């Protein structure tokens, strides 16, 4: 397995600026090849469709392109870095390039691998925003611009194979057109480490590829088989584990096994980001960072404290990808201790947090273990306690609520609206997502805007008002008054001001 030392060896062996014969190019569309000005929350902006801000300004504000050297980006999405590491380990000649510089490197490539999050805008945040604006979101627009670009079309004519993977791969089940037309040769869904080598080898040898390859849960790699990344990831994101033990019905993640990485593996990837990427911030990624090292729903104090002390000894700032309210609420003292470690030289940190519903009845049916170690019927109380704890400790959650869950009744929506009232004073973003059939609910119907009731609309406005109420505070926290960030800050505030006025106007129109 490559260590930090071997990552330097890779770099020496494969200097990024040299012209070498590349078999496999890896890339992603420009909404994914961005550091979002160092603030992952801004990445939500890629789910919106073109709007009242000119596209060129909007893309700079929400997903500016990464710096490149000879077409090679200084960082790349973490999932793409994993595939890059796996292919290097398998002996392939591979290079990750920026989508704007494909032409420079594609001449001799036999395969292009594309990482995607939401290729058709079917992700929950995109469908919600698309229903409001009635247009295709940026992330879908840029994905299609990439796969249909003249440079890709020309390369396809001479036999290039295109393989797509990433968290958005499932969407090709519903939109197989690009596969039928031969624009894309193969889509890989699931954790690809154990299969990507044989698929790429077949592509290089000109063999037939499966159009859709679903990696079975039994083929998911164990922790020891997952290679370390060898080049920096965007915003210093590093995985600390995979999988989740809570088993929510609507979630894909829960179908895969739970694995936590040992601390030395995490620190090796941290050093890749610090030494090669000069990152001063690390984002710890897991479905629930609070459960690091635990195989129950109770946090492990010792492992969590050790992890955070180790990380903070190497970088000044840290953030989390996801955190559960139940795990935080179950150990308030531990949560405060972690916040003390994290806040030594930063003023806040963020994470995505799932609220999903304020209805205890619906929670019991659809996510019975989400409240563990508390009872499912206590879910609204767990949310209030967890959110209060996060507010007091300067953790800013970007929360999700699911609208239109199967079997959702009017009373469930009313309970969620009551919960929203109680959360008013807690610093957070709350984003409503339309139900998308995934996980064990993959055969259910999608929730469409045509099915929206007046109560749904009121809930959506309540979420928008809550988030916009906290936006100025979050902008002040996120953007210090220095350099170009001072100007950016004013743009975001102006954008938020316009959005607030438009939402109020839409609300008044709805109530008339």
Residues that bind ligand SF4 (CB under 6 A): 244, 246-248, 251, 253-254, 287, 324, 354, 367, 370
- Rounded Cα distance between 448 and 7, Å, is 47
Residue 252 C-beta: closest distance to ligand SF4, Å: 8
C-beta of residue 209 within 8 angstroms of C-beta of residue 202: yes
Residue 244 C-beta: closest distance to ligand SF4, Å: 3
DSSP class of residue 425?
T
Residue 320 C-beta: closest distance to ligand SF4, Å: 13
Measured from the CB atom, the residue of 72 and 353 that comes closer to ligand SF4 is 353
- Rounded Cα distance between 505 and 500, Å, is 9
Measured from the CB atom, the residue of 244 and 289 that comes closer to ligand SF4 is 244
Residue 117 C-beta: closest distance to ligand SF4, Å: 16
Residue 182 C-beta: closest distance to ligand SF4, Å: 35
- Rounded Cα distance between 208 and 281, Å, is 43
Measured from the CB atom, the residue of 35 and 297 that comes closer to ligand SF4 is 297
Measured from the CB atom, the residue of 247 and 388 that comes closer to ligand SF4 is 247
- Rounded Cα distance between 94 and 112, Å, is 10
Residue 354 C-beta: closest distance to ligand SF4, Å: 5
Cα 405 to Cα 122, 152, 252: the distances in Å are: 16, 39, 15
Residue 228 C-beta: closest distance to ligand SF4, Å: 24
Q: Which two tokens stand for residue 169?
A: 């791969």
- The Cα diameter of the chain in Å comes to 67
Torsional class of 236: left (φ above 0), alpha (ψ -120 to 50), beta (otherwise): left
Q: Which two tokens stand for residue 455?
A: 């109560």
> Which distant-in-sequence residues (6+ apart) come within 8 Å of 57 by Cβ?
491
Residue 490 C-beta: closest distance to ligand SF4, Å: 36
- Rounded Cα distance between 149 and 166, Å, is 20
CB atoms within 10 A of CB 374: 18
Measured from the CB atom, the residue of 16 and 253 that comes closer to ligand SF4 is 253
Q: Could you tell me the sign of the dihedral formed by the alpha carbons of 184, 45, 429, 332, in that order? A: positive
> Which distant-in-sequence residues (6+ apart) come within 8 Å of 301 by Cβ?
331, 334
Measured from the CB atom, the residue of 111 and 328 that comes closer to ligand SF4 is 328
- Rounded Cα distance between 209 and 179, Å, is 11
- Rounded Cα distance between 112 and 184, Å, is 10
Q: Is 403 helix (H, G, I), strand (E, B) or coil?
A: strand
Measured from the CB atom, the residue of 357 and 393 that comes closer to ligand SF4 is 357
Residue 69 C-beta: closest distance to ligand SF4, Å: 36
């Amino acid at each position: 397995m490559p260590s930090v030392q071997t990552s330097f060896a890779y770099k020496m062996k494969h200097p990024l600026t040299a012209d070498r014969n590349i078999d496999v190019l890896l890339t992603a569309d420009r909404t994914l090849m961005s550091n979002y000005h160092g603030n992952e929350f801004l990445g939500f902006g890629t789910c919106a469709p073109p709007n009242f801000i000119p596209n060129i300004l909007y893309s700079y504000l929400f997903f500016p392109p990464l710096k490149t050297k000879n077409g090679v980006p200084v960082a790349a999405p973490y999932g793409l870095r994993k595939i890059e590491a796996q292919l290097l380990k398998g002996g392939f000649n591979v290079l990750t390039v920026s989508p704007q510089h494909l032409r420079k490197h594609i001449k001799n490539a036999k395969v292009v691998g594309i990482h995607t999050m939401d290729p058709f805008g079917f992700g929950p945040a995109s469908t919600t925003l698309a229903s409001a604006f009635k247009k295709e979101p940026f992330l879908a627009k840029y994905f299609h611009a990439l796969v249909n670009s003249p440079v890709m079309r020309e390369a396809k004519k001479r036999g290039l194979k295109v393989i797509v993977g990433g968290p958005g791969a499932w969407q090709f089940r519903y939109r197989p057109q690009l596969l039928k037309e031969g624009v894309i040769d193969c889509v890989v869904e699931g954790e690809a480490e154990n299969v990507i080598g044989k698929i790429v080898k077949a592509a290089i040898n000109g063999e037939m590829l499966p159009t859709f390859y679903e990696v079975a849960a039994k083929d998911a790699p164990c922790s020891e088989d997952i290679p370390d990344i060898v080049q920096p990831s965007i915003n210093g994101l590093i995985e600390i584990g995979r999988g989740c033990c809570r088993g929510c019905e609507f979630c894909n993640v829960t179908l895969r096994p739970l694995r936590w990485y040992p601390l030395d593996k995490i620190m090796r990837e941290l050093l890749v980001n610090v030494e090669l990427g000069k990152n001063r911030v690390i984002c710890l990624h897991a479905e629930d960072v609070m459960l690091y090292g635990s195989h129950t729903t109770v946090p492990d104090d010792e492992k969590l404290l050790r992890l955070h002390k180790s990380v903070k000894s190497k970088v000044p700032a840290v953030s989390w990808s996801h955190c559960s309210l139940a795990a935080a609420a179950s150990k308030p003292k531990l949560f405060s201790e972690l916040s003390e470690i994290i806040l030594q030289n930063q003023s806040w940190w963020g994470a995505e947090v799932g609220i999903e519903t304020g209805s205890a009845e619906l929670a019991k049916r659809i996510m019975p273990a989400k409240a563990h170690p508390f009872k499912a019927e206590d879910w609204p109380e767990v949310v209030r306690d967890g959110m209060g704890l996060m507010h007091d400790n300067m953790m800013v959650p970007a929360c999700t609520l699911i609208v239109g869950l199967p079997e959702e009744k009017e009373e469930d929506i009313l309970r969620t609206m009551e919960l929203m009232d109680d959360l008013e004073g807690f610093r957070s973003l709350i984003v409503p997502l339309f139900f998308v059939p995934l996980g064990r609910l993959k055969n259910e119907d999608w929730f469409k805007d045509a099915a929206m009731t007046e109560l749904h609309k009121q809930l959506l406005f309540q979420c928008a008002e809550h988030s916009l109420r906290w936006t100025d505070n979050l902008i002040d926290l996120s953007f210090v008054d220095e350099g170009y960030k001072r100007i950016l800050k004013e743009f975001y505030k102006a954008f938020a001001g316009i959005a607030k006025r438009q939402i109020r106007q839409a609300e008044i129109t709805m109530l008339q």
